[in-house]
């Protein structure tokens, strides 16, 4: 089995009962397809980066689980069909992970994730201005500059 992480955003005005029904449905899908849920985290109500279906806020959730490809497809199909779910995204975290090994994996804290993001998002060095200009001009401009 592979380890996956699915983040989904629900409608901000859902009641606790609606959320618990959605969580139970997702748990039953994972168990019926012989997957194993590692954790389900409630990240709370947050402001969205952009408006989704006339909503500016959304309730964020994270599911960490072990599954086969078919289970991921079925889980995403159910999230897509549910009108209460605004957006979702699934990421594969690892290949061939056993359930025992998944429980023993260390949790990455938010500070460690932020460090990784900062390291990845460092801008690439810009080319020198002198190197970039001659390529931007046609032959005529190059001759005018040289002469």
Residue 40 forms part of a structural domain:
yes
Instruction: Provide the CATH number for the domain around residue 78.
Output: 3.30.70.60
Q: What is the pTM of this model?
A: 0.64
Residue 145 forms part of a structural domain:
no
Rounded Cα gap, residues 5 and 66, in angstroms: 9
| Cα–Cα–Cα angle for 85, 65, 114, rounded to 5 degrees | 80
What's the domain count of the chain?
1
Any bridge partners for residue 61, and if so which? 8, 42
Residue 133 forms part of a structural domain:
no
> For a pLDDT cut of 70, what percent of the chain falls above it?
65
How does pLDDT run across 49-63, given as a tens digit for each residue? 999 999 999 999 999
């Amino acid at each position: 089995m592979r380890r996956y992480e699915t983040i989904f955003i629900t409608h901000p005005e859902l009641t606790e009962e609606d959320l618990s029904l959605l969580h139970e449905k997702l748990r039953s899908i994972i168990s019926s397809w012989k997957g194993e849920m590692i954790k389900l985290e409630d990240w709370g109500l947050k402001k969205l980066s952009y408006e989704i279906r006339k909503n500016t806020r959304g309730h964020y959730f994270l599911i960490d689980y072990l599954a086969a490809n078919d289970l991921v497809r079925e889980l995403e199909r159910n999230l897509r069909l549910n009108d209460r779910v605004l957006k979702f995204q699934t990421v594969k975290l690892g290949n061939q992970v056993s359930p025992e090994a998944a429980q023993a994996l260390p949790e990455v804290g938010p500070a460690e994730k932020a460090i990784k993001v900062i390291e990845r998002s460092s801008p690439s060095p810009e080319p020198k201005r002198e190197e970039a200009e001659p390529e931007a001009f046609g032959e005529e401009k190059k001759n005018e500059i040289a002469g």
